[in-house]
Structure 1
Amino acid sequence: MGTHPGPRLSLDLSKYEKLDAVQVGHLRHYHNLVSQMDGEWHHMGTQEPMQEFLDAYRYQLAIMAYGVGAAHYHRTPALRSTYKILLRRLIHKMLRREVWAYWFTTSLSGNRTDPGRTQLRTPWADPVVKENIMYSGHLLMMTSLYGMLFDDDEFEKGESLSFVWDPLFFGLGPETFCYDNRSLQEAIIREMERNGWIGVCCEPNLVFVVCNQFPIIAMRYNDARDGTDVSERVLEKYKAAWDEKGMVDSSGLYVDWYFLRQDRTLAPRNIGWTAWANAYMNTWNSETVRSLYDSQSYGFITTIDGEVQLHEEKIALEYRKLVDTENANKNDAAVLARARANAAVLPPSFPFSKPTFGYVVQWLSELGKQEELDGLLKYADKHLQPTWENGGLFYPRNDDRTNDAGEWTHMDPFSGNAAIGYARLNVPDGQKKMWDNPRKRGHAATQPWIDGIELGQGIDCLRGVWDSEESALVLTMKTWDGRIVTATPVATNLPAGEWTVFVNGELVQQETLDKGGDLRAEVRVGREEVDVVFKRVVAD
């Protein structure tokens, strides 16, 4: 190995996508949150104090994980270590007792979720054995995504997912509930079967459409690794069950939920769960999802005088009522003004606000509704206090639903920490493309990757691509705070041959790998972007 000054890199790097500063900022914020000491949840506090509502830790962690997966798979697919370490930390946090301990009291049930119930159930602490798909489904998808993306069986090994229930001042000693990814999947499928394939309950007695999308996607990823067809068989029964019950309400929205014991559905009032379901149901049901967009979105999303806005539930429902009864324009300033005036005198429908903004931008991102997505992100950047902290970008919590003019002001930690970042990191049909082409077992051995770089080093990576036609592995880095650090990227799994390393276009290393393998480069990284290219010398 040595330094070989001389020829410059002839490869045009501009043809390789580069993450922009905002996308990098969201990834850095994800890293900042999960790098906190265990037990610290700065910026992640929620409206409801017992982790039972929709902005709870589990939902924030899950959507950050899906954002990491989308960024890796679609945008920087050769950047292995950075994303693997980040996703691994998100899973670690997901297994913390603060995230799942709510289930013990929730398992008692009650008459809010099970109308007519007069006696509480005997509680149980195991958070995944039955019901609670709002936790178990996300945990399954997070760990299945990890296995699929990185060809790593860590969470497929016995007892790799363990829950220790050991409250300090009650109980008869610690209990440990042990699972792995596949036994967790089996537990979920047993619950689906027990419920007639309509899905697994979130809260006791309630089956939500959205929460059951995540385990179905996870099954698809596991099928790709195992050579099975579990997801197809489950989907066949799942679709038949919902065809019987009726998933789509007369409003065009998906029903809010299905009451299991009462065998009836609840009509929807908000776009939130429909939008979130669509963002992931687009995987296996894309034709339906796309065909319903116009009927589902109007009134909740408007484009008036060139400005895209999202509207709070009461305003949106008044808007839809005016459009439906008066055949008014679906994007009319006068209709909006009347809807806001009508809604102003109505009481709040629920004490907590759904993270609707985050649900909607995920949906728009997946469907490639770029005008609407860009409009809402522009609105967020103008009105919802974008904040940079330690190189990370987020939108801080604000519990106020609207201002005096009726304009959207609400920001929750689900949207501000996780979902807006996801929407920027995802690509059109991002979930569908991963569904259609999941990585199979053994994939990691089929191409070179970049290892040795992680966010904890203070380094942000803007590019990470393997170009097989050019025999080039391309990496672009910078530090988030301008510090100068020495990075040691490792090009792994290189085929045999003569390899060169270029830094900012200049040849700095050359080495022959007789049997293939790894090649390391030592690079100084600071405020300015540094391009590192590992390129195989191809004979003319």
Structure 2
Amino acid sequence: MTTPSVLDEAQLGHLRHWDDLSRRLPHDWSGMQGKGAGEDDFGSYRFQLAYMVYGLALAHRHRLPAAPGLFRPTIQRLIEKLLMPDVWLYWRDVSRGGMVMNAHLSEGYHEEWDPVVRDNIMYSAYVQSCALLHDHLFADDRYAAPGALTFAHWSFFWGGEEKRFEYDRDSLNEHLYWQMVQNGYLGVACEPNCVFQICNQPAILGFRLHDVITGGDRATEVVAGYEKAWADFGRLDDAGHYNQMVLEDSRVVAPNALRAPWVDAWCGALMNTWNHDFVHEHYPRQVRDFLVPGPDGTIAVRSTPAMNVMGQTVVTDTCDTGWVAAWAAEMGDRATLDGILAHADRYMGPTRRDGALFYPRNDTPTDADGHRTEIEPMTGNVLLGYARLDVPDGLHELYQHPWGPEHFAEPALTEVGRDVEVSRAEVVDGVLHGRLRCRGRSGGDDDGSVLVGRVPDGARLRLDGQEVAARPVPGGLWVDVPPGPAHDLELVP
């Protein structure tokens, strides 16, 4: 295969930022807190962590396919954080109900500590799909081990005995599948009684990846059942936007009545995995409702006013800008994506720190000239980078054309030191091509080195066109990357 291009400085900066966030000490969420309280809303830690994993998966699959050593450790650290109680403990309270769409049913609910046993597909599907992305992309059974996905909480000060719930990729996938079946394939609820179209798409991706790994075909069954179940309601509302959700008890459909950009964008970006033609057909008309042209080709994304419920203004991160950017990237709408990124670079405070690129939270809606400046951590940490690293139909291709065993026999950068930037890593006509730069930040052993693995007998290693010696080890060849400008590495059979 050939990749679209060598990664540019912005793309490398997003990868560095995600790596930095993955290395934060436990319970350090600085720079990731949004406006909402209690990890309830669309900018919560679970979504930031999961979409960093998704973004890394897309970058590996489409841009740096021969650099598993760059992506595997970061994805593992992010999944470790995804399992932390800081991320899922909200479910203990949300599971009891009490919101406007389930308050009348609250007497039938109870406090639930297990965050994946019922409902809460807005968390469980991300644990499932992230674990399966890892095991597919790296031909690894790490999350198949019993207890590999364990949710545990204990406090010295409250709560009694440890709460501990052990799963693995297979048992969790099986559990979500049967939840889907028992609900007639309509989907699994997020908050009790609320079945969102958006939040069931990651589960479908997970089913597909599990099929790829195990040889099953459940994704086909689930998609067929899902389409039949939603045919009774329609995927789109009367205005042509995605229906937001169905209430389980009444089977009443909630449309995208406020024309919220995040509803269409999030749903469309994910549903493109299996429903490509439908999503592409409706995208141009849908996205036009959300875009605000600005100076010099910049494009802002409008947001709807905050809802007022029970006399309270709902405080939440909509992530509209980020989701429309991610949607445009998946749709291959380069003009819209470039306009949104240009707006972000001009008005949303792009920040570089030791090579990392992000856009820090800003709650101010606009500048003095009315240009949108508000940005939430989900957009500034994750979604703008996700959009820059995705390719047209990136999720669709990952879903429809997964890697086969031949990919995992090709030479690759199987370990990458922390100080090494990789802007190219692909195999073309049997030759491994890498473009590497050593930034020299950490100074630890092998932090400025890469391990070239799966080396064919007799292969020759070149750096900037000159054959070089390397340190042979059981896993391949260790190569020290000289400091300074980027260097071109080749492994020639």
**TM-score scaled by structure 2?**
0.92
Q: Answer whether contact 1:271 1:300 (CA < 8 A) is retained.
A: yes
Distance 1:495 1:416 in 2: 42
Distance 1:463 1:45 in 2: 33
Distance 1:505 1:15 in 2: 21
Q: Displacement of 1:510 after TM fit?
A: 8.8
Say which SS state the counterpart of residue 192 (structure 1) adopts.
Answer: helix
Q: Displacement of 1:118 after TM fit?
A: 5.8
1:205-229 deviation digits (Å, cap 9, x = unpaired): 1111111111101111111111110
Q: Displacement of 1:350 after TM fit?
A: 3.5
Q: Say whether 1:491 aligns with 2:452.
A: yes
Ranges in structure 2 where 5+ consecutive residues have no aligned partner: none
The alpha-carbon distance between structure 1 residues 176 and 483, as it changes in their structure 2 partners (threshold 3 A), is closer
Distance 1:305 1:387 in 2: 22
**1:358 equivalent in structure 2:** 322
Q: Answer whether contact 2:438 2:481 (CA < 8 A) is retained.
A: no
Distance 1:145 1:484 in 2: 31
Q: Which moved more, 1:255-264 or 1:472-481?
A: 472-481
Question: Which of residues 508, 525, 530 in structure 1 aligns to 2:487?
Answer: 530
Q: Counterpart of 1:180 in structure 2: which amino acid?
A: D
Distance 1:499 1:394 in 2: 40
The alpha-carbon distance between structure 1 residues 257 and 404, as it changes in their structure 2 partners (threshold 3 A), is farther
Question: Which of residues 350, 369, 381 in structure 2 aligns to 1:386?
Answer: 350
Q: Counterpart of 1:362 in structure 2: which amino acid?
A: A
Q: Say whether 1:313 aligns with 2:274.
A: no
Say which SS state the counterpart of residue 452 (structure 2) adopts.
Answer: strand
Q: Counterpart of 1:72 in structure 2: which amino acid?
A: H
Q: Answer whether contact 1:94 1:139 (CA < 8 A) is retained.
A: yes
Ranges in structure 1 where 5+ consecutive residues have no aligned partner: 1-13, 317-346
Distance 1:483 1:96 in 2: 27
Distance 1:277 1:300 in 2: 15
Distance 2:318 2:249 in 1: 25
Q: Answer whether contact 2:451 2:479 (CA < 8 A) is retained.
A: no
Distance 1:23 1:391 in 2: 11
Q: Displacement of 1:48 after TM fit?
A: 1.5
Q: Say whether 1:34 aligns with 2:55.
A: no
Q: Answer whether contact 1:155 1:161 (CA < 8 A) is retained.
A: yes
Question: Which of residues 31, 35, 40 in structure 2 aligns to 1:43?
Answer: 31
**2:137 equivalent in structure 1:** 149
Distance 1:180 1:444 in 2: 25
Question: Which of residues 463, 466, 471 in structure 1 aligns to 2:424?
Answer: 463
**1:192 equivalent in structure 2:** 180
Q: Counterpart of 1:528 in structure 2: which amino acid?
A: P
Distance 1:367 1:221 in 2: 22
**1:377 equivalent in structure 2:** 341
Q: Answer whether contact 1:367 1:429 (CA < 8 A) is retained.
A: yes
Q: Answer whether contact 1:210 1:276 (CA < 8 A) is retained.
A: yes
Q: Displacement of 1:519 after TM fit?
A: 3.8
Distance 1:305 1:22 in 2: 22
1:352-381 deviation digits (Å, cap 9, x = unpaired): 241111111110000000000001000000
**1:472 equivalent in structure 2:** 431
Q: Say whether 1:397 aligns with 2:356.
A: no
Question: Which of residues 216, 225, 246 in structure 2 aligns to 1:228?
Answer: 216
Q: Displacement of 1:277 after TM fit?
A: 1.1
Q: Say whether 1:278 aligns with 2:268.
A: yes
Q: Which moved more, 1:521-530 or 1:302-311?
A: 302-311
Say which SS state the counterpart of residue 452 (structure 1) adopts.
Answer: strand
Question: Which of residues 292, 296, 302 in structure 1 aligns to 2:286?
Answer: 296
Q: Which has the larger radius of gyration?
A: 1
Question: Which of residues 414, 424, 428 in structure 2 aligns to 1:451?
Answer: 414
Q: Counterpart of 1:113 in structure 2: which amino acid?
A: M
Say which SS state the counterpart of residue 232 (structure 2) adopts.
Answer: helix
Distance 1:310 1:168 in 2: 48
Question: Which of residues 198, 203, 217 in structure 1 aligns to 2:205?
Answer: 217
Distance 1:310 1:16 in 2: 26
Q: Counterpart of 1:472 in structure 2: which amino acid?
A: V
Q: Displacement of 1:315 after TM fit?
A: 8.1
Q: Answer whether contact 2:35 2:315 (CA < 8 A) is retained.
A: no
The alpha-carbon distance between structure 1 residues 439 and 165, as it changes in their structure 2 partners (threshold 3 A), is same
Q: Say whether 1:261 aligns with 2:249.
A: yes
**1:6 equivalent in structure 2:** none
1:259-295 deviation digits (Å, cap 9, x = unpaired): 1112101121212121111111111111110111122
Q: Displacement of 1:191 after TM fit?
A: 1.6
Distance 1:251 1:306 in 2: 31
Q: Answer whether contact 1:253 1:271 (CA < 8 A) is retained.
A: no
Say which SS state the counterpart of residue 292 (structure 1) adopts.
Answer: helix
Say which SS state the counterpart of residue 213 (structure 2) adopts.
Answer: helix
Q: How many residues align?
A: 484
1:452-505 deviation digits (Å, cap 9, x = unpaired): 214xx22211111112x2x32122211346788863322212233x22111111
RMSD: 2.5
Q: Answer whether contact 1:225 1:439 (CA < 8 A) is retained.
A: no
1:297-343 deviation digits (Å, cap 9, x = unpaired): 12311446763423433489xxxxxxxxxxxxxxxxxxxxxxxxxxx
Q: Answer whether contact 1:391 1:481 (CA < 8 A) is retained.
A: no
1:34-61 deviation digits (Å, cap 9, x = unpaired): 1111111121012112111110000001
Q: Which moved more, 1:353-362 or 1:117-126?
A: 117-126
1:18-42 deviation digits (Å, cap 9, x = unpaired): 1111100000000111111111112
1:423-476 deviation digits (Å, cap 9, x = unpaired): 011100101111111124x4564211112214xx22211111112x2x321222
Q: Answer whether contact 1:219 1:230 (CA < 8 A) is retained.
A: yes
Distance 1:232 1:303 in 2: 40
**1:59 equivalent in structure 2:** 47
Say which SS state the counterpart of residue 525 (structure 1) adopts.
Answer: coil
The alpha-carbon distance between structure 1 residues 402 and 205, as it changes in their structure 2 partners (threshold 3 A), is farther
The alpha-carbon distance between structure 1 residues 404 and 202, as it changes in their structure 2 partners (threshold 3 A), is farther
Q: Answer whether contact 1:58 1:94 (CA < 8 A) is retained.
A: yes
Q: Say whether 1:122 aligns with 2:86.
A: no
Q: Counterpart of 1:479 in structure 2: which amino acid?
A: C
Distance 2:406 2:205 in 1: 19
